[in-house]
Amino acid sequence: MIKVETTVSLPEEKRNVLKAELGKAISILDKPESYLMINLVDQQDLYFGGNKLDKGAFVEVKVLGSVDAGKSV
């Protein structure tokens, strides 16, 4: 599961690009894209250090099962 929260709007075209790139990136964890769930949440209020971000994102990755600890990430 990869959850992306961002302060900006994500039109369908950008969502599709982001989805495709995350699908490629998940291979680092030895997981196929067919097992990947993605949650894209746009136009969120994000704060860092007490300050509201104009542009920013928070990305959370959760892995069900094991990840090869010997593989460098």
Kindly report, residue by residue over 42-58, the tens digit of the pLDDT: 999 999 999 999 999 99
pTM of the model: 0.79
pLDDT higher than 70, residue 71: no
Angle at 37 between CA 15 and CA 60, to 5 degrees: 80
Kindly report, residue by residue over 54-69, the tens digit of the pLDDT: 999 999 999 877 666 5
Mean pLDDT for all residues in the chain: 90
Rg (CA), the chain: 14
Domain limits, the chain: 2-46
Angle at 44 between CA 62 and CA 46, to 5 degrees: 80
Backbone angles phi, psi at 71, to 5 degrees: -90, 135
Two tokens at 73?
């990430």
Nearest partner of 22 among 14, 42, 9, 12, judged by Cα: 14
